[in-house]
Amino acid sequence: MLTSRIDTEPQRLDYLDSVRGIAAMMVVIYHFIGWNWPDYTKFHVASMVFNGADAVSFFFVLSGFVLSYKYFQSDKEVKMGNYIFKRILRLYPAFIFTIIVNYLYWNRALLLEGNCIPVLKDMFLNNDQKLWEELAMVRLAHKFYIPGWTLGVEMVLSLAVPVLVYLSRKNIKMIWWVIPMSIFIENHFSSFALHFVLGIMLAYYYPQIKE
């Protein structure tokens, strides 16, 4: 068990921002070259370099690492309420804004005609277009913002980080058991939990890796 923790604020790993940027560009290029699905040969060859799926997996590993790193490099306790509030404030407002903008764009024909009543009725009463499911990130609704599924995974799994950090500090072997569980339990979040756990373990062993 690692014991060399200090009370000072851990050093920021600036190079992770560059790596995150490279991964983001990989996702963009992957989708750009993948729009023409019939041309499988070029797409598969290009995916050997610009693999968006691998880049997304890397993002989740990086999230697990970054969110837990500062807690492993010091004896600072995780304040659950403060942590959850900051995560929601960081992720959710931009998500809501994007969904609303895309919802209005989706219904632009009615709005440009000045026919706002059906749009408002659907938004606040009928919910025929499942806007509120998407805003609440439930039922895997991703009509207005398709990449939003990653944010749902990020939100759910990042809220589990404090628990995983606590267990890691008690006994890192507890976290090792999460890996087979995430592989054999089949649901929308379990496969991505593996990536988060790998990031947390990298943060835990970072001092040894660095040496």
Going by C-beta distance under 8 Å and a sequence separation of 6 or more, which residues neighbour residue 52? 26, 27, 29, 30, 31, 34
Closest CA relative to residue 210, chosen from 73, 61, 43: 73
pLDDT tier, 3 (very low <50, low <70, confident <90, very high otherwise): very low
Between residues 87 and 11, the one the model is more confident about: 87
Total number of domains constituting the chain: 1
Buried b or exposed e, range 47-80, using 16+ CB within 10 angstroms: beebbbeebbbbbbbbbbbbbbbbbbbeeeebee
What are the pLDDT digits (tens) for 140-155? 778 888 888 888 888 8
Domain extent, residue 168, equals 15-210
Residue 40 pLDDT > 90:
no
**Is residue 101 assigned to a domain?**
yes
Q: Which residue has the higher pLDDT, 176 or 8?
A: 176
The token pair that represents 198 in the structure block? 């790998």
The answer to whether residue 146 is domain-embedded is yes
Rg (CA), the chain: 21
pTM beyond 0.75, yes or no: yes
Does any domain span residue 20? Answer: yes
**Gap between the Cα atoms of 206 and 183, Å rounded:** 24
